[in-house]
Amino acid sequence: MLTGETRASLSDKLDYALWAFRTAFKTPIGYTPYKLVYGKACNLLIELEHKAYWALKHANFDLLTAGDHRKVQLNELNELRDQDYENSLIYKEKMKRIHDSKIKDRVFNVGDRVLLFNYRLKIFSGKLKTRWSGPFTITQVFSYGTVELSQIDGPNFKVNGHRIKHCFGEDIPKMVVPDLQTFPKDQ
C-alpha cells in the first residue's frame, strides 16, 4: 500500500511510483516510456555510479566530434521512432484481430423486426430507463450496413446497422411502472 491510514505519505511516495512506471518496460510498445520521450535508455543511479568515468570521457568532445555524435544520436532517435511506429502498427493489428474475432455477424433481412439503440440518451437521465426503442420493421437493406426502418405511425428513416438488434419479443412499453405490492409487517 502506498499510503498510511492518514494518506499523508502519498506525496512522498508519488515520485517513486511515477519513476517506477516510467522506467518499466511496456510490452505493447516494446520500450519504456522514458526511452520514447528522451530517445535513450534511462540511466539509473547504480548504472551512473559504475559508468561515471565513461560518461566523463564522452562528455569532453571537440566540436567536430560532438557534431558528428549529435548527428548519430538524431539518426538513432529517428530509428527508434520508426521502430516504435512499426511496433504500434503491429500492436494495433493484433488488437484489431482479437476484437474482430469476438464480433458476431448479424444478418438483417427485409421484414425483420428490430430494436433501435438510442445513443443520445444521457447516462444519468434515468438510471433504469431502457436505451432501446421500437420495434421497427426493416424495409430495405443497403450496402455497407445501412438499414432503412419503418414505423407504424411515422416516416421511414435510415440508420447504421450497428445501432439495431433483432427483436424477438413484444413491443417495449414507453413507460414501465411496476406494480409494487406492499405487505403488512409481521406482528
The domain spans of the chain are 13-101, 113-166
Which range has the worst mean pLDDT, 40-49, 136-145, 147-156?
40-49
The fraction of the chain above a pLDDT of 90, given in percent, is: 10
**Cα 113 to Cα 146: distance, rounded to the nearest angstrom:** 15
Question: Which pLDDT band, with edges at 50, 70 and 90, does 52 fall under?
Answer: very low
Q: Per-residue DSSP letters for the chain? A: --S-TT-TTHHHHHHHHHHHHHHS-BTTTTB-HHHHHHSS----HHHHHHTHHHHHHHH---HHHHHHHHHHHHHHHHHHHHHHHHHHHHHHHHHHHHHHHTPPP----TT-EEEEE-TTS-TTS-TT---EEEEEEEEEE-GGGEEEEE-SSS--EEEEGGGEEE--SSPPPSS--------PPP-
Taking only the tens place, the pLDDT of each residue in 89-105 is 999 999 999 998 988 77
pLDDT at 50: 44
User: Would the pLDDT of 128 be above 80?
Assistant: no
Q: May I ask the CATH class of domain 113-166?
A: mainly beta
The fraction of the chain above a pLDDT of 70, given in percent, is: 62
pLDDT at 51: 45
Question: Which pLDDT band, with edges at 50, 70 and 90, does 76 fall under?
Answer: confident
Is pLDDT larger for residue 125 or for residue 50? 125
C-beta neighbour count of 164 within 10 angstroms: 23
CA nearest neighbour of 109 among 157, 68, 151, 148: 148
Average pLDDT on 41-56 reads 52
pLDDT at 148: 92
Mean of pLDDT over the chain: 73
Is pLDDT larger for residue 128 or for residue 175? 128
CA nearest neighbour of 148 among 132, 136, 131: 136
